[in-house]
Amino acid sequence: MELGEALTRWSIRAALALLVVCCAGRQLAGERSRWQAIDRVLWPLGCGLFLTHIAAAIYFFHHGSQAEAYADIAQQTKQVLGAAVGEGLYVNYLMAVVWTADALWLLAAPTSYRKRPVWIEGAVLGFFLFIAFNGTVIFKSGWLRASGIIGTLVVAAAFAWRITRDRKSEA
């Protein structure tokens, strides 16, 4: 595996691993200050790795061409879903913008970030997890698909545990 291919593949794998760790950790650790300090490092790091993946993919796989990237995603989508749709490229860019804004908010105003409405947290994490699930479970196979399934189950279990914990504390 050449350097460009390795950078592209491993940056997204590491970004998604950090996405799972942060999503699950936020549910399990709650407001513990030690976890918040760790999350404040890992969340922006995951974002940076995701941005690295996008830049490396465009440069090393698509020769700097947005049109080539769009066509490649359309071809992959056709192979998996039967329809040549390349708009997934723009969904990836949207995820990059949202994750960057979210990470910057966490870094610039951690108190405000931690007090944001639950629906914002749910919408952001839900969007990211939907994209991660599709990227790993739907469009990959082998150990990458298995990793995506495990990551999804870990986050789902963490959310279920939090809901159960919150309901018990309300009773």
- The verdict on residue 92 lying in a domain is no
Range of the domain at 55: 3-86+97-170
Residue 91 is assigned to a structural domain of this protein: no
Question: Running DSSP on this structure, what letter comes out for residue 82?
Answer: S
Q: Would you say residue 15 lies in a domain? A: yes
Decide: residue 142, CB within 10 A, 0-12 exposed, 13-18 middle, 19+ buried. Answer: exposed
Residues 6 or more apart in contact with residue 157 via CB below 8 angstroms: 24
Residue 25 lies in a domain: yes
CA angle 97, 102, 107 (to 5 degrees): 125
pTM, to two decimals: 0.93
Is 106:44 a contact under the CB 8 Å cutoff? yes
Is 13 a domain residue?
Answer: yes
Q: How many CB atoms lie within 10 A of CB 15?
A: 22
CA-based diameter of the chain, in Å?
Answer: 58
pLDDT 10s digits, 39-62 = 999 999 999 999 999 999 999 999
Specify if 133 maps to a domain. Answer: yes
Paired tokens of 12: 């997204």
Task: Please report whether residue 26 resides in a domain.
Answer: yes
Chain segment 101-154, per-residue pLDDT in tens = 999 999 999 999 999 998 999 999 999 999 999 999 999 999 999 999 999 999
Q: 105 lies in a domain?
A: yes
Task: Count how many domains the chain has.
Answer: 1
The number of CA neighbours under 13 Å toward the Cβ of 102 is 26
